[in-house]
């Protein structure tokens, strides 16, 4: 049972805003939710500077420039501190834990967050020799639970490239550091 | 009455002569028998060299797969087998099974041991819990063997992932004793979430193990147990009060000078040493003449250097200790105040070589930080410290007077600060080399070194310590070193001069331990799964074979019924498998950019197999 994600918010905001010049970073935004109240990401486009993602295939592949919101950026950071040792860089998977960017094909926000809070043991159906730890009592992860989802969702929907630290909008008060 | 007097006399003798090596030391004798492979490092000097030459430069091209053995376990297979007489012992990653194979009987299984029963390790922790606190895959680097001196007619020692040290009867696989060293469970500050990956190390009548868990704020230590009953002989912490570290402030030296009182406590802010890391999980050596054992300590935790000002002693340190008492003779800290996760745990190779023209009893160590060190192993004097990959840039050089690396501000993650992304640091946290051990051939006088050629961006940030949880505090992204697309090199090194002699580029990090032989052939494996034999002088490729899975195990050789065999575990995984499975960077080939995209999962899949070749 696939859940249909709502992109409208991101799209309308983007549609309304022209691309910003590389040295003219637009203001930050609070952490975003979609129409179903699921955490989501936000980005603004620039005309040059930092690559946010790539569009097209082969010869037609071209970079798209811009900035992601600070909440999603925190998700990137926490992912690479807490999860990448098992799930590989950029939510792209490793020799033993799944590529989370693809897991969102079948995991919605509820299931995703439940897995992080409670983990998954072999007894609960993890592959033999595998285990996903429970992070429920780890404040370093719990404070970014929504942001982790924002980040993985952005990767899932192809709006964030792989590789080094992504460009971000300034933080706003709603996102505590 | 008479017998009491005798007893006292005997005991006086052992106290007075603790360093005397007993003539019947089985390992000391048998390490020189090239037909066997009696310890993971080949010999006590960690040479990974064999005097066998039936397989040689002239005929290695005709090597054939003789047999292979599936371990039935997925995930990363590091380390390799022991061959004792006509029995081969091989271990697996979690659940840490051990198999004894009968070489007289077509490698039939004599016995099999599994420490995990009903999903639970001997410590009482579930296998799931243990897996969830392994930092970098379920690896284990192998078992140790001993005979006599408390080990009876043969004992196999297994250091299981839950930190339990298990003594098994080598003939039957039956447990003799077991003792849990640390604690993978939750709750205890500085102990929780510790795991075991490193080999046990037998010296005289004792067997020692280190511990892993610096990414979880464990304060690690080296602990020696008496082989006869598993009672603890001594424990030396990597950091903390002098008594915990087994140092003598007036006699233990660093750069030839006494370390003085509270050398560790003075180098940490407040009580941070209590969760200070300094894990020990590499390969160890013993010089029986000097009666010193050698090992290295790992990173201080957290990975965020800004919150732990000071040299964080004695993390990132080579330690030389007396094996009977544990008291340290000398330390050398390679990376004071680590800012990049350059663990100092790699193998210590003892070689009597000419260093800058003068004969030395040297210790050679290829550190994660990209410098290869040659030390005087008796005094701890620093003789050579040179980069063994020219891209290393975080320090310009090592000051030979103070022993300190001269850190470049631009690549200092502490100088750049919290929440700042420091870019272009070489090497990456993986190091120019991780644990995959190098080999030394006394015949060619060359060190053969498997290396990584990867750089990184590193951003430290603040995290809270919660016992039993990861305590990392930095993000990193890795990519190929500038100027090329190869992620690894296999190099030949002159440790006397500190120079690369030649270097073979490999598409991926070389994560397998090397083997040098008197047949003038050197063996190593690659992450795509190739087993390779090269000419020991020129590095020319002489033989390549693609195994079932990527190789992160170490090569070994032995002889049975007049035939020389070469073997290696394949079974991709480990830290390399995590980092490289999906490749390191975006596929930008369509943009005409350098094709740096290399996803290991397009080359190889999981599965542990012991591969055995002969002519």
**CB contacts, 8 Å: A126 with chain B:** 128
How close A150 comes to chain B (CA, Å)? 17
Q: What is the mean pLDDT of residues B17-33?
A: 76
Q: Do A93 and B476 touch (CB under 8 A)?
A: no
Lowest-confidence pick of A115-124, B29-38, B422-431, B488-497: A115-124
How close A4 comes to chain B (CA, Å)? 27
For residue B608, give both structure tokens.
């542990």
**CB contacts, 8 Å: B478 with chain A:** 89
Probe site for chain A from B161, B185, B469 (most A CB atoms < 10 A):
B469
For residue B528, give both structure tokens.
């795509």
Which residue has better confidence, B314 or A131?
A: B314
Model confidence band, residue A53 (pLDDT cutoffs 50, 70, 90): very high
Name the E strands within B181-291: 201-203, 206-209, 221-226, 232-237, 253-254, 257-258, 285-287
For residue B351, give both structure tokens.
């070689």
Q: From the candidates B287, B291, B311, B341, which is the catalytic residue?
A: B341
Which residue has better confidence, B260 or B190?
A: B260
Lowest-confidence pick of A154-168, B79-93, B326-340: A154-168
Residues within 8 A of A (CB atoms), B 136-155 only: 136-138
Q: Do A80 and B475 touch (CB under 8 A)?
A: yes
**CB contacts, 8 Å: B473 with chain A:** 81
With b meaning 16 or more CB within 10 Å and e meaning fewer, what string describes A2-20?
A: eeebeeeebeeebeeeeeb
Torsion on CA atoms B35, B37, B41, B45, rounded to nearest 10: -40
Nearest-CA neighbor of A53 among A150, A153, A147, A157?
A: A157
Give the three-class secondary structure for B600. Answer: helix
**CB contacts, 8 Å: A94 with chain B:** 577-579, 581-582
Q: Are B170 and B156 in contact (CB under 8 A)?
A: yes
Probe site for chain B from A95, A101, A164 (most B CB atoms < 10 A):
A95
Q: Are B332 and B380 in contact (CB under 8 A)?
A: yes
CB atoms within 10 A of CB B61: 11
Give the three-class secondary structure for A72. Answer: helix
Place of tokens 């429920």: A136
| pLDDT tens track for B143-163 | 999 999 999 999 999 999 999
Going by the DSSP 8-state scheme, the letter that residue A82 receives in this structure is I
The contacts of residue A139 (CB under 8 Å, 6+ apart) are B464, B466
Q: Are B298 and B278 in contact (CB under 8 A)?
A: yes
Which residue has better confidence, B415 or A26?
A: B415
What is the ipTM for the molecules in this complex? 0.75
Q: Do strands B221-226 and B552-553 pair parallel, antiparallel, or not at all (unpaired)?
A: unpaired
What is the structure's pLDDT at B172?
98
Using the Cβ of B581 and the Cβ atoms of chain A, whether some distance falls under 8 Å is answered with yes
**CB contacts, 8 Å: B430 with chain A:** none
Using the Cβ of B363 and the Cβ atoms of chain A, whether some distance falls under 8 Å is answered with no
Probe site for chain B from A96, A130, A163 (most B CB atoms < 10 A):
A96
Using the Cβ of B88 and the Cβ atoms of chain A, whether some distance falls under 8 Å is answered with no
Strand order across the B541-546 sheet: B49-50, B515-517, B521-525, B530-535, B541-546
Q: State the helix-helix crossing angle for A109-118 and A145-156, rounded to 10 degrees.
A: 130
Q: Are B301 and B63 in contact (CB under 8 A)?
A: no
Tell me whether residue B587 is one of the annotated catalytic residues.
no
């Amino acid at each position: 049972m696939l859940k249909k994600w709502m992109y409208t918010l991101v799209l309308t905001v983007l549609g309304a805003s022209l691309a910003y010049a590389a040295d003219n970073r637009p203001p930050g935004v609070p952490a975003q939710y979609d129409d179903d109240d699921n955490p989501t990401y936000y980005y603004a486009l620039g005309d040059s500077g930092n690559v946010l993602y790539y569009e097209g295939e082969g010869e037609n592949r071209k970079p798209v420039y811009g900035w992601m919101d600070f909440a999603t950026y925190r998700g990137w950071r926490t992912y690479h501190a807490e999860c990448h040792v098992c799930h590989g860089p950029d939510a792209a998977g490793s020799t033993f834990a799944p590529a989370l960017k693809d897991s969102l094909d079948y995991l919605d926000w509820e299931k995703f967050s439940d897995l992080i809070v409670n983990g998954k043991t072999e007894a609960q159906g993890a592959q033999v020799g595998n285990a996903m730890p429970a992070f429920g009592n780890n404040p370093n992860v719990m404070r970014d639970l929504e942001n982790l989802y924002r980040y993985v969702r952005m990767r899932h929907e192809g709006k964030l490239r792989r590789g080094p630290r992504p460009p971000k909008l300034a933080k706003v008060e709603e996102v505590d550091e | 009455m008479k017998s009491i007097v005798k007893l006292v006399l005997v005991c006086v003798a052992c106290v007075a002569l603790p360093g005397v090596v007993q003539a019947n030391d089985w390992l000391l004798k048998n390490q020189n028998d090239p037909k066997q492979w009696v310890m993971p490092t080949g010999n006590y000097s960690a040479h990974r060299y064999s005097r066998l030459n039936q397989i040689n430069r002239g005929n290695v091209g005709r090597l054939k797969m003789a047999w292979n053995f599936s371990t039935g376990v997925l995930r990363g297979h590091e380390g390799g087998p022991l061959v004792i007489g006509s029995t081969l012992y091989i271990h697996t990653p979690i659940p840490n099974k051990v198999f004894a194979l009968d070489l007289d009987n077509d490698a039939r299984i004599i016995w099999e041991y599994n420490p995990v029963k009903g999903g639970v390790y001997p410590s009482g922790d579930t296998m799931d819990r243990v897996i969830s606190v392994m930092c970098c895959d379920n690896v284990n680097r192998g078992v140790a063997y001993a005979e006599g001196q408390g080990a009876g007619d043969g004992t196999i020692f297994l250091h299981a992932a839950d930190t339990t040290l298990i003594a098994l009867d080598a003939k039957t696989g039956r447990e003799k004793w077991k003792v849990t060293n640390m604690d993978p469970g939750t709750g205890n500050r500085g102990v929780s979430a510790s795991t075991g990956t490193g080999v046990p190390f037998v010296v005289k009548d004792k067997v020692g193990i280190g511990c892993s868990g610096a990414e979880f704020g464990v304060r690690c230590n080296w602990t020696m147990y008496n082989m006869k009953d598993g009672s603890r002989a001594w424990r030396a912490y990597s950091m903390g009060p002098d008594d915990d570290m087994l140092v003598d402030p007036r006699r233990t030296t660093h750069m030839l000078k006494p370390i003085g009182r509270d050398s560790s406590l003075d180098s940490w802010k407040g009580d941070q040493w209590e969760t200070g890391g300094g894990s020990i999980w590499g390969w160890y050596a013993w010089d029986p003449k000097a009666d010193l054992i050698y090992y290295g300590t790992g990173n201080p935790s957290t990975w965020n250097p800004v919150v732990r000002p000071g040299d964080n002693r004695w993390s990132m340190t080579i330690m030389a200790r007396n094996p009977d008492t544990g008291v340290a003779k000398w330390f050398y800290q390679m990376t004071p105040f680590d800012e990049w996760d350059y663990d100092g745990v790699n193998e210590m190779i003892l070689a009597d070589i000419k260093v800058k023209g003068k004969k030395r009893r040297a210790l050679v160590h290829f550190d994660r930080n990209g410098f290869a060190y040659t030390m005087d192993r008796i005094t701890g004097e620093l003789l050579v410290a040179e980069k063994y990959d020219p891209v290393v840039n975080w320090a310009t050089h090592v000051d030979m007077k103070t022993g300190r690396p001269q850190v470049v501000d631009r690549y200092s993650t502490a100088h750049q600060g919290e929440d700042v992304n420091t870019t272009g640091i070489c090497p990456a946290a993986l190091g120019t080399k991780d644990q995959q051990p190098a080999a030394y051939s006394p015949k060619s006088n060359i060190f053969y070194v498997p290396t990584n050629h990867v750089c990184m961006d590193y951003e430290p940030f603040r995290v809270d310590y919660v016992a039993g949880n990861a305590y990392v505090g930095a993000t990193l992204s890795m990519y190929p070193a500038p100027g090329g697309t190869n992620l690894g090199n296999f190099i030949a090194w002159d440790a006397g001069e500190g120079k690369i002699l030649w270097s073979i580029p490999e598409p991926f990090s070389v994560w397998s331990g090397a083997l040098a032989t008197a047949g003038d052939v050197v063996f190593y494996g690659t992450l795509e799964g190739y087993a390779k034999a090269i000419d020991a002088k020129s590095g020319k490729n002489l033989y390549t074979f693609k195994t079932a899975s990527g190789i992160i195990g170490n090569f070994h050789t032995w002889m049975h019924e007049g035939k020389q065999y070469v073997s290696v575990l394949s079974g991709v995984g480990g830290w390399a498998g995590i980092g490289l499975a999906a490749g390191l960077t975006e596929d930008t080939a369509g943009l005409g950019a350098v094709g740096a995209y290399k996803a290991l999962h397009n080359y190889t899949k999981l599965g542990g197999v012991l591969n055995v070749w002969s002519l």
